[in-house]
Structure 1
Amino acid sequence: MNFEELTKVIHTRKSTYAYDYSDKKIDEKTIESVVTNALWAPTHLATQPWRFVVLEGKHQLDLSQFMASYYRELYTEKQFSNERYEATKTYAKNATLIGIVFTPNKKAKLPEWEELAAISCAVQNMWLSCTTLDLGSYWDSSLATMEYGKEYVNLEKDEQFLGIFFMGYVKENAPQVRRKRKPLSKKLSWNNKI
């Protein structure tokens, strides 16, 4: 892959939410390949402070119901309409769900931010992998998703649940979202010390 090809993959990566996933299932080999790419993310002292849990079976509908109930209690009907509530009750039905777990390395004694940055790199590898495979994906760390994971993913002592990586084949008629970024001039400066 050359720089231009890599740039295209990076620029076309986006968040595609589960409402836009078709009912076509992602096969196990593809899931394993995407997660394998996560394992190649950079980590200080090669701690690899992560593990991933594929949430199968009833998780899709249980997570959806959990999210709907959670947001119904948290928000007013005006903020979370009945229509949105009903849609949320089946939101994740077509998604492949991968729980993201932070497993701190006690021996390395690295700052937590470094380990979390490594996990972010791992998830970005998954995201870019999905982009090249024409799969929709996103990392959901919303309040409801975090609570669901804490309750239904077996965590060891000192582990933290960091959300769910959603993956799915995108429906043909899914809306195309135009993505924007601020210009480079607003985000890059030069500091020339002479």
Structure 2
Amino acid sequence: MSAEQFNELVRSRRSVFPDQFDTTRRVDDAIVEQILTNAIWAPNHGKAEPWHFTVFTGEGLQKFANFQSELYKELSGENFKEITYGKLQQHPLKASHIIALGMKRTPNKNIPEIEDVEAVSCAVQNMYLSTTAYGIGGYWTTGGITYREPAKAFFGLGEEDKLLGFFYIGHIAVQPTGAKRQPLEEKSTWVR
């Protein structure tokens, strides 16, 4: 791959939301395995590899939808919103695969927790670039039950671990619109 091809890959990456997925097609499991393999090649401090991925597909999508919507309902109390409950029930069914993004805390306490979080974030960027390379859609969401402590056990996470969201994968039915970035000069400082 040339530098120009890589630049194009990075700059063409877009989030593709569940409503933009083609719900009649499924992504091949072998492609999802390649995406996850690329994810685990992310940089990480001390070779800790703090990521833990739980993949939902087929009937698993309904199990995921039921779990997250019911947990939301249980924990929301007077803040419960029927529209949110409905989205938590329906959006997972629009995806081909959903990957729960877990961070397993590194046993080496000399590695700050934030560095484990950063490593998983790098893994997610690899997932985004991989979906772009395969011509399929990807979307990282941190909504719903992501930061709800009682959710962690469902995804195989312990007390010190973190749930960092969900990565939705699907074939693209509606192309995402172009994105903008502020000029580099506004977001960088060079010291010479």
Q: TM-score, normalised by structure 1?
A: 0.82
How many residue pairs get matched? 185
Q: CA deviation at 1:139?
A: 1.1
Q: Which residue matches 2:51?
A: 50
1:153 pairs with 2:155: yes
Q: CA deviation at 1:141?
A: 1.1
Q: Which residue matches 1:35?
A: 36
The DSSP-based 3-state class of the residue aligned with 1:41 is coil
Distance in 2, matches of 1:53 and 1:85, equals 22
8 Å contact kept, 2:16–2:176: no
Q: Which moved more, 1:123-132 or 1:99-108?
A: 99-108
Distance in 1, matches of 2:125 and 2:109, equals 23
Q: CA deviation at 1:158?
A: 2.2
Letter of the 2:158 counterpart: E
Letter of the 1:97 counterpart: I
Judging by fraction of residues, say which structure has more helix: 2
What residue ranges of structure 2 are gaps of 5+ in the alignment?
none
Q: CA deviation at 1:159?
A: 2.0
Give percent identity, aligned residues only: 29
Q: How does 1:53-68 map to 2 (within 5 A)?
A: 53-64=54-65, 66-67=68-69
Specify whether residues 186 and 53 from structure 1 end up closer, same or farther in structure 2 by C-alpha distance, changes over 3 A only: same
Letter of the 1:155 counterpart: L
Distance in 2, matches of 1:122 and 1:7, equals 18
What residue ranges of structure 1 are gaps of 5+ in the alignment?
none
Q: CA deviation at 1:154?
A: 2.5
Q: CA deviation at 1:94?
A: 2.9
Distance in 2, matches of 1:32 and 1:76, equals 36
Q: CA deviation at 1:25?
A: 1.1
1:10 pairs with 2:13: no
The alignment yields a C-alpha RMSD, in angstroms, of 2.6
Letter of the 2:139 counterpart: Y
Distance in 2, matches of 1:177 and 1:37, equals 26
The DSSP-based 3-state class of the residue aligned with 1:91 is helix
Q: TM-score, normalised by structure 2?
A: 0.83
Distance in 1, matches of 2:14 and 2:70, equals 24
Distance in 2, matches of 1:75 and 1:137, equals 28
Q: Which moved more, 1:84-93 or 1:16-25?
A: 84-93
Distance in 1, matches of 2:72 and 2:159, equals 26
Distance in 2, matches of 1:103 and 1:86, equals 30
Q: CA deviation at 1:59?
A: 4.0
Q: Which residue matches 2:166?
A: 164
Structure showing greater radius of gyration is 1
Distance in 1, matches of 2:183 and 2:81, equals 37
Q: Deviations 1:78-100 (Å, cap 9, x if unpaired)? A: xx5xxx86565422213111111
Specify whether residues 111 and 86 from structure 1 end up closer, same or farther in structure 2 by C-alpha distance, changes over 3 A only: closer
Q: Deviations 1:37-87 (Å, cap 9, x if unpaired)? A: 01111112211111111124444235445449948964668xx5xxx8656
